């Protein structure tokens, strides 16, 4: 007993203090202390496409002659785009977000930014900066949309897009080029694709779960493989697109033996439009759309969504959107997937 007490006393005398255990490494500057802005309780705001989202920015005191500037960090060009500037009494909106943003201003210390009808391109990092002479300070927040990443290539085969064509192709399919974070998250959730594709910042990657010879070899570990930054005009790859659920929308299937033109007309007869690839992926991911029937989509491809894998629906063991590629548009073999928006 006495020996245990002595050992305990010795540990107390020689053990490092709590402050030394968590001491900042030598040479690392301490983060600047916020004097006027409150640190947000949560740095990520989760929302859905079509919803209204508020990014919090609250002052604890009002300095003299201050301004608050909201901006968005654009990963495609590594720049910040100004959204709104206020001095507490007046404000001015800037850029493409201008019609859909306003300051919440629920009290005189509140400089929070509200975005209405949230769109896919709204996802990303935002900065609320207090401009106050030499005492500028800022807080960063992430606006996050739950979504799904899918690989995309055109009807004429793989590796046909330069960066700008890939960006346009995703937008035409009710999606946008994915960010690296979105692609990485999709990989952790099981995305395994051997073809390299553009992402939003102009780099090229492909996600591998099962290492194999045609995809970098069996010896390389699973991961998001990268080709790095490529020439946006000359280099050609596929695209990785990102889409999200749209509130109040629906994708449904119409049976029939329809060619492509008849498929589009069948949807219009029901007050709908032929679905885009991103809309089908969204319905599969968020509405658990599950059909064994191939159907035409707006880009001329034929696909079908499977949430419960089974032998007679492609035989693959994992859920996903299966593809028949781009058959002749004159074929009368398939039904069609239709989209109704809000």
Name the band, by pLDDT with cuts 50, 70 and 90, for residue 10.
very low
What DSSP character marks residue 30?
Answer: P
More confident residue, 12 or 161: 161
3-state SS record for 196-213: CEECCCCEEEEEECCCCH
The pLDDT of residue 76 is 65
186, 207 contact by CB (below 8 A): yes
- CA–chain centroid gap for 87, Å, is 32
Q: For residue 327, what are its two tokens? A: 């058959």
Mean pLDDT of 3-10: 33
Span 246-340: which CATH code? 3.10.100.10
Mean pLDDT of 118-137: 90
CA distance 195 to 215: 8
Mean pLDDT of 32-58: 91
More confident residue, 143 or 6: 143
The pLDDT of residue 182 is 95
The 10s digit of each residue's pLDDT in 309-341 is: 999 898 889 999 999 999 999 999 999 999 998
CB atoms closer than 10 angstroms to residue 314: 14
37-145 is a CATH 2.60.40.10 domain: yes
CA distance 142 to 123: 8
Tell me the backbone φ, ψ of residue 115, rounded to 5 degrees. Answer: -115, 125
Report yes or no on whether pTM surpasses 0.85. Answer: no
Same fold, 37-145 and 147-243: no
Mean pLDDT of 263-273: 97
Name the band, by pLDDT with cuts 50, 70 and 90, for residue 32.
low
The pLDDT of residue 23 is 37
Return the CATH number of 147-243, one of 3.90.1010.10, 3.40.470.10, 3.10.100.10, 3.20.20.80: 3.10.100.10
Whether 43 has a pLDDT exceeding 60, the answer reads yes
The pLDDT of residue 31 is 54
SS3 254: strand
Residue holding tokens 């658990």? 288
User: In the chain, where are the structural domains located?
Assistant: 37-145, 147-243, 246-340
Mean pLDDT of the chain: 88
The pLDDT of residue 34 is 81
CB atoms closer than 10 angstroms to residue 69: 19
* Helical spans, DSSP H, in the chain: 2-14, 18-21, 163-172, 180-188, 260-269, 277-286
Whether 135 has a pLDDT exceeding 80, the answer reads no
Q: How far is CA 289 from CA 214, 244, 276, 281, 292, in A?
A: 32, 14, 14, 9, 10
């Amino acid at each position: 007993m006495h020996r245990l007490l002595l050992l305990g006393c010795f540990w107390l005398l020689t053990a490092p203090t709590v402050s030394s255990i968590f001491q900042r490494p030598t040479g690392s500057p301490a983060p600047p202390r916020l004097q006027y802005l409150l640190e947000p309780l949560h740095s990520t705001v989760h929302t859905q496409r079509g919803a209204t989202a508020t990014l919090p920015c609250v002052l604890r005191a009002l300095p003299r002659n201050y301004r608050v500037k909201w901006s968005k960090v654009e990963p495609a060009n590594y720049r910040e785009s100004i959204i709104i500037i206020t001095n507490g009494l007046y404000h001015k909106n800037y850029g493409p977000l201008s019609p859909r943003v306003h300051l919440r201003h629920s009290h005189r210390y509140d400089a929070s930014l509200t975005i209405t009808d949230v769109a896919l391109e709204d996802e990303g990092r935002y900065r609320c900066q207090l401009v106050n002479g030499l005492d500028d300070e800022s807080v960063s927040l992430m606006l996050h949309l739950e979504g799904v990443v899918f690989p995309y290539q055109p009807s004429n085969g793989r590796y046909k897009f330069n960066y700008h064509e890939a960006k346009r192709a995703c937008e035409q399919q009710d999606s946008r080029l994915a960010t690296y974070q979105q692609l990485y998250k999709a990989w952790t959730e099981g995305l395994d694709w051997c073809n390299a594709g553009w992402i939003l910042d102009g780099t090229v990657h492909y996600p591998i779960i099962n290492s194999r010879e045609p995809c970098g070899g069996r010896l390389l570990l699973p991961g998001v493989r990268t080709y790095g930054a490529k020439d946006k005009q000359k280099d050609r790859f596929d695209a990785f697109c990102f889409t999200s659920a749209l509130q109040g929308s629906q994708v449904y299937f119409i049976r029939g033996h329809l060619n492509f033109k008849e498929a589009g007309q069948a949807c219009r007869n029901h007050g709908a439009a032929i679905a885009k690839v991103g809309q089908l992926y969204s319905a599969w991911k968020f509405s658990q759309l599950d059909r064994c029937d191939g159907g035409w989509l707006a880009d001329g491809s034929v696909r079908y969504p499977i949430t419960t894998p089974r032998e007679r629906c492609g035989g693959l063991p994992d859920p996903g959107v299966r593809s028949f590629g781009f058959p002749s548009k004159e074929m009368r073999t398939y039904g069609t997937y239709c989209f109704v928006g809000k």
